[in-house]
Amino acid sequence: MKIVVLDGYTLNPGDLDWKGMEAFGQVTVYDRTSLTDVQEIIDRIGDAEVVYTNKTPLPREVFDACSSIRFVGVLATGYNVVDVAAAKEKGIPVSNIPTYGTAAVGQFAIAMLLEICHHVAHHSDAVHEGRWENNADWCFWDYPLIELAGKTMGVIGFGRIGQATGRIAKALGMQVIANDEYPNKSGEEIAEYVTVEELYARADVIALHCPLFPSTEGMINRESIAKMKDGVIILNNSRGPLIVEQDLADALNTGKVYAAGLDVVSTEPIKGNNPLLKAKNCIITPHISWAPKESRSRLMNIAVDNLKAFTDGSPVNVVNP
């Protein structure tokens, strides 16, 4: 069996291996493949029966040109880069990786929040630059320092990752409220379920952990921000297009939103004209919530398990049944 990995570098920059996949056949791994050159994608797939992609698109014309494809594995949870309808028409199952990064993404959301509250990196840099040594007082701080205990965390999207964030917030002494289309018992143990309107009104911190659907695209906008508390903190390490970026930048610059921690933006890599790059109190990281080695190793193992299930005749994690 021929297996092609179109863009393996972010998953495995060298600290993991592909041995699990190699047990199933001949594996060709490309670090990166063009996101726009469809012919390059077609040429690299060739007569491969199994194709793995992370962000390399697989539109209908790829499936039309590569008739040998029998299985597509997405090396991520989101699968919008694949024309799943075209794959289904040709009887090709597409499997994603739904649960590998729960702990890591929840942890990262809180890491961004703690950085906003304490600016640890900034103050460490200041000490190394000699400012403490030469300070007239025995301590100093350049930003307001925020205690989270007693404040309210509002989580929009209270599935596995949202609940992971909620548990940590609760351990920090925060009251947790949540909004989700499908409330569940496990969530009730962590948070009080409320309407999104009530969440906007009550939360001191809002964390986005919901999928990107037409109903959620641009949900954080001028109108919804106006319903929030003055000085609210917004966290997003889910999907960039959940936020209307100019509206958030405006709110940061006026102080309506005190700070934002973002690991995702609408276009990635970020473009130089993104208004959030010049907004006040805006932390932006390069989509790395998912990337601890432990999390990536779990992703690799699940990707191999998906392939094994396919070869056994019972594919799992199929997004186009």
- DSSP-derived 3-state class of residue 188: helix
Calculate Rg over the CA atoms of the chain. 22
Residue located via tokens 């909620």:
166
- Kindly name the residue from 129, 147, 197, 268 that is annotated as catalytic: 268
- Kindly name the residue from 239, 245, 296, 298 that is annotated as catalytic: 239
268 catalytic? Reply is yes
Task: Give, rounded to a whole angstrom, the gap between the first and last alpha carbons of the chain.
Answer: 23
202 catalytic? Reply is no
DSSP code for 229: P
239 catalytic? Reply is yes
Q: How far apart are CA 16 and CA 297, in angstroms?
A: 7
Query: Is 54 in contact with 76 (CB distance < 8 Å)?
Result: yes
Q: How far apart are CA 183 and CA 185, in angstroms?
A: 7
The first and second tokens of residue 25, run together, are 């056949």
Task: Find all residues with CB under 8 Å of 222, minimum gap 6, and list them.
Answer: 244, 247, 250, 251
Q: How far apart are CA 234 and CA 113, in angstroms?
A: 9
Residues designated as active site? 239, 268, 287
